[in-house]
Amino acid sequence: MSQRLQIGIAGAGVLGRLAAWALAEAGHHVTVFDPADGPAPRQDGRGAAGYTAAGMLSPLAELDNASAEVALLGWQSIAIWSRVAERLTAAHAGSEPAPLLFRQLGSLMVAHGSDLGAAERVLARLRGATDLHAAMPQAQALDRPALRELEPALDPQLRAWLLPGEGQILPAPMLSALAASARGVDWRWGCSADEVAPGRITLADGTWHDCDQALDLRGLGARPALPLRGVRGEVVWLHAPGVALQRPVRLLHPRHRVYIVPRPGDLFVVGASEIESEDRSPVSLRSAVELMAAAHSVISGLAEARIVHLETNLRPALPDNEPRIEAEPGLLRINGLFRHGWLLAPALLRDGLRRAGLVNALENGAP
């Protein structure tokens, strides 16, 4: 490393923890401020949006509602996550086996025969993104035997497409592993940053922290520095022993965007609503019914699943719904990751840290 810098980070969500890990790995001295009580996962929807996320890494499927640039960044991010997960797993200490952090088995898009119009619209969008064809694989239509072979739990009548190379993150284990493995990072829990300026983070108690480089990675907490809004998302957790699903499944439906994501321990996350509201109150009956009915319509074996948890959180979004990197000497802000934060964080951070001239562990082969 050329220079050991003092880095101050406001926010210990997806971006904040990944940045802390990547910069500490490269030998910088990193201090992180976050109002949360500590690094443990929160399931009350009041902490980082990253905890509530399903963890889908779906650059192709997200083309339905995102730009080609977002898809390309997402594709690059999957390769970076794979390397990060490998390093975190290798560094895992303790008597328990390392938890699963990342999986890349592709994902499935499925549609009921009656909804083929909705499916065709999404597939046309994928086919139309010709700029991406050289960089990313294409959706592959599956016939019934191929679908049965890949995911026997799915209704065999479904029309299905495999999106090769897509993956998933296990959000809580990944956030924990990043915090636990970030070498020598000074975590200041219970500390809210009121202002992040070049070389200075000012805390809610009026004290401040001077540093060579300040990173503003506070998600929705970065208001009013950025014109952010929260977009409500709701998920349902199901426990269904005996239902085997290897990869995330997205149902193409005219009215809902619903996906089912398998988690270890026979758990499934079904998500997610997208509502223009900053209401963090519990999941509504309408959302719960729609999400679960859609999930049950593709996996009938979920009928006896137990509903173990419902959660609401807010996605941090900018007016154009696109992510933004703002860099000036001594200050880097990244925000607006909206519905793709896990998908985009590594590539956006890599680009942002590059612009700030910071050596870090997200570059190929670095540090």
Ligand X SMILES: Cc1cc2nc3c(=O)[nH]c(=O)nc-3n(C[C@H](O)[C@H](O)[C@H](O)COP(=O)(O)OP(=O)(O)OC[C@H]3O[C@@H](n4cnc5c(N)ncnc54)[C@H](O)[C@@H]3O)c2cc1C
Residues that bind ligand X (CB under 6 A): 10-16, 33-36, 47-50, 52-56, 192-193, 217-219, 221, 233, 235, 271-272, 313, 315-316, 335, 337-343
Residue with tokens 């990253």: 50
How are beta strands 140-142 and 213-216 bridged, if at all? unpaired
| Of residues 48 and 177, the one with the C-beta less far from ligand X | 48
State both tokens at 26: 């490269």
Residue with tokens 């809610």: 204
Give the helix, strand, coil percentages of the chain, each rounded to 5.
35, 30, 40
| Smallest distance from ligand X to CB 286, Å | 16
State both tokens at 69: 């640039």
8 Å CB contact between 65 and 74: no
| Smallest distance from ligand X to CB 287, Å | 10
Residues 6+ apart with CB under 8 A from 131: 68
| Of residues 15 and 238, the one with the C-beta less far from ligand X | 15
**Looking at residue 319, what DSSP letter applies?**
T
| Of residues 15 and 88, the one with the C-beta less far from ligand X | 15
| Smallest distance from ligand X to CB 196, Å | 8
Closest CA to 172 of 100, 247, 234: 100
| Of residues 27 and 187, the one with the C-beta less far from ligand X | 187
| Smallest distance from ligand X to CB 148, Å | 26
Is omega for the bond preceding 367 within 30 degrees of 0, making it cis?
yes
**Looking at residue 97, what DSSP letter applies?**
P
| Of residues 50 and 106, the one with the C-beta less far from ligand X | 50
| Of residues 27 and 312, the one with the C-beta less far from ligand X | 312
| Of residues 28 and 218, the one with the C-beta less far from ligand X | 218
Q: Give how far Cα 305 sits from Cα of 96, 112, 260, 263, Å.
A: 28, 22, 13, 14
| Smallest distance from ligand X to CB 323, Å | 9
Max intra-chain CA distance, the chain: 64
Rounded to the nearest 10°, the torsion over CA 91, 97, 103, 109 is -160
| Of residues 181 and 287, the one with the C-beta less far from ligand X | 287
Residues 6+ apart with CB under 8 A from 130: none
Nearest 5°: the CA angle 154, 159, 162 is 80
| Smallest distance from ligand X to CB 13, Å | 2
| Smallest distance from ligand X to CB 227, Å | 15
| Smallest distance from ligand X to CB 65, Å | 12
